[in-house]
A and B are shown apart, each in its own frame.
Chain A
Amino acid sequence: MRLLENALEGGKFGVTVEMAPPKGYDFSEQMEAAELLKGKVHGVNVTDMQSACLKATSLGLCIKLKQAGLEPIIQMTGRDRSRMAIMGEMLSAAAFGIDTMLALTGDHPVVGDCKESKPVYDLDSVGILKMLSEMEATGKDCGGNEIAGGAPSFYKGAVVTPVYEPLFLQINKLRQKVDAGAQYIQTQGIFDLESMKRFMDAVDKANIKTHIMAGIIPLKAAGMAKYMNENVPGIAVPQDMIDRLAAAAAEGKEKGVKGLPTKLGIEMAAELIVKIKDAGLCDGVHIMAIGAEKNVPAILEKAGLSV
């Protein structure tokens, strides 16, 4: 189907949403959220054990989503798989009609919840993209052997961190990812227009041509924002956003109403999407609701986004 490719390459504003498989084998919560997202996004981007915490694999949930009529995007990291395992997984994905992927290096096991697991990193994000591009171009596997029936092709993506010092290194790696075959790029969560503008200027200056989708993280509480600022590399939530969330929490407490910060987070996310779209700053948004995918339809509605 290649919904995301058709949207981005056709000049439409792309919309994807992130979803994590469960730590377990009951996918019903994910499938309930998926029903709410059907027809509203160009793709559901399924994480590959993000933060190096053990979950069911991306491929498993991707297959379920595909069967339910959604457009899954398979994430593939180099953390747990050799090049053979990555290529084999991608062949299996293709067999289920999964045609869009996102390549990442992957968080180190030491920062996750199975610390004894061996980090593989046979290939990094650039290496994964190069391997798949070569497979598509030659019809051969990672050992140079013919693939029976020809190689599948994927709409390939990668990630970038706009708030990064020195930015030279991010721009440099972005160029390598695009040269290696990345056709779209999604960013780490951004919270203000200015830092996204600075980043997009640097991309333009470096003359890198690709489709960039801004990462949007709807905030749920002031504490969440503070935690991310302190602990998640590349995240910089402005203080006024944190203050507004804290004020909403205080107001809720006073009035005895629950969920005001979450509601505000949805509004702020929608506001940012509208600003990005109106400014023509980038080609789409990627919404990372971190477990609150059910709130995504409300964000899309407030932002006036439809696919």
Chain B
Amino acid sequence: MIITQKKPIEELMAMIGDAANIAILGCNSCATACATGGEKEIKELSAYLEAHGKKVVATAIGDYCCMNMSTKSCMKKLAAANPDAVVCMSCGDGVQVAAKHINVPVYPSNNTMFLGEALRLGVFEEACHLCGNCVLGKTGGICPISRCAKSLVNGPCGGQKNGKCEVNPENDCAWIMIYNRLEALGQLDKLAQTRDDKGYADVSYPRTINIRGKK
């Protein structure tokens, strides 16, 4: 899941500036789970904007703002209300998809934080850096790229103390976690292998994937 966090409302209001008629697009998937862009948050933002002299001319919620075709129809509905600006309450991807389908500014209400898991309601943890070369098969299912502050691939640095990371002592050292997990699985031999250096040539941005075999 893409984890988002609300921007300070002052920052959003500064982006909106003089625009008087505002449309709001929410997202029914990740942003709803993060309480940053679901039905409830759309209502709250509408009330705030109305209370601060803006007119909310339309709202819509897409199942997945990152899906181009369905977002296109949401934006058609919003465009019909002739807004001066759109506030998109999804991740950064949804904002960009929305902006493709309207000729007024689309402003993000959220900061897009990371790809991670909901540990429990309202608690999220980063778990994947989308590196494009998954090493989880060799690391006991624990990702050193995202869970080690240095993204080390050949084992820990000297900076752990009592299993905690020197960068943030609240975090467990990824390599101690990997060691414990592999020991429990009887796979400590996997640590003996130095990782092949994959380099970064395959992860130059932006990446595209086409599995259709045609455009």
Contacts and interface: CB of A to CB of B under 8 A. Distances in A.
B82 interface: no
A172 B191 contact: yes
Interface stretch (B38-46, B64-72, B100-108, B152-160): B152-160
A41 to B, nearest CB: 24
Interface string B183-215: 000001001101001001000000000000000
B149 A110 contact: yes
Interface of B: 149-161, 166-168, 175-176, 179, 188, 191-192, 194, 197, 200
Interface in A73-125: 105, 107-108, 110-111, 119, 121-125
Nearest to B201: A143
Contacts of B155: 126, 169, 172-173, 176
Interface residues of A, number: 30
A10 interface: no
Contact of A188 (B150, B158, B161, B175): B158
A159 B158 CA distance: 9
Given A188-B158, A233-B158, A234-B158, A105 B194 contact: no
Contact of A105 (B150, B168, B200): B150
A124 B150 contact: yes
A233 B166 contact: yes
Interface in A99-158: 105, 107-108, 110-111, 119, 121-127, 130-131
Q: Which of A111, A124, A175 is the most central at the interface, judged by chain B CB atoms within 10 Å of its CB?
A: A124
Interface of A: 105, 107-108, 110-111, 119, 121-127, 130-131, 159, 161, 164, 166, 168-169, 172-173, 175-176, 179-180, 188, 233-234
B176 A126 contact: no
Nearest to B180: A166
A119 B148 CA distance: 12
B150 to A, nearest CB: 5
Contacts, number: 70
Contacts of B192: 172, 175
B179 A169 contact: yes
Contacts of B154: 124-127, 173, 176
Contacts of A124: 150, 152-154, 157
- What are the 6 tightest A-B residue pairs by CB atom distance, in nearest-first order? A173-B155, A126-B154, A161-B158, A233-B161, A108-B167, A121-B150
Contacts of A233: 158-161, 166
A108 B197 contact: no
A119 B156 CA distance: 16
Given A108-B149, A121-B152, A169 B175 contact: yes
A169 B167 contact: no
13 contacts: A105-B152, A119-B149, A121-B151, A124-B152, A124-B154, A127-B154, A161-B158, A164-B158, A166-B176, A168-B179, A169-B191, A233-B160, A233-B166
A180 B194 contact: yes
A180 B166 CA distance: 26
A85 B123 CA distance: 39
Given A169-B155, A176-B194, 19 more contacts: A105-B150, A108-B150, A119-B150, A121-B150, A121-B152, A122-B200, A124-B150, A124-B154, A126-B194, A127-B153, A127-B154, A130-B197, A161-B158, A168-B179, A173-B154, A173-B156, A188-B158, A233-B159, A233-B161
A273 B197 CA distance: 39
A166 B158 contact: no
A169 B156 contact: yes
B92 to A, nearest CB: 20
A210 to B, nearest CB: 16
A108 B159 contact: yes
A235 to B, nearest CB: 10
Contacts of B160: 233
A121 B148 CA distance: 11
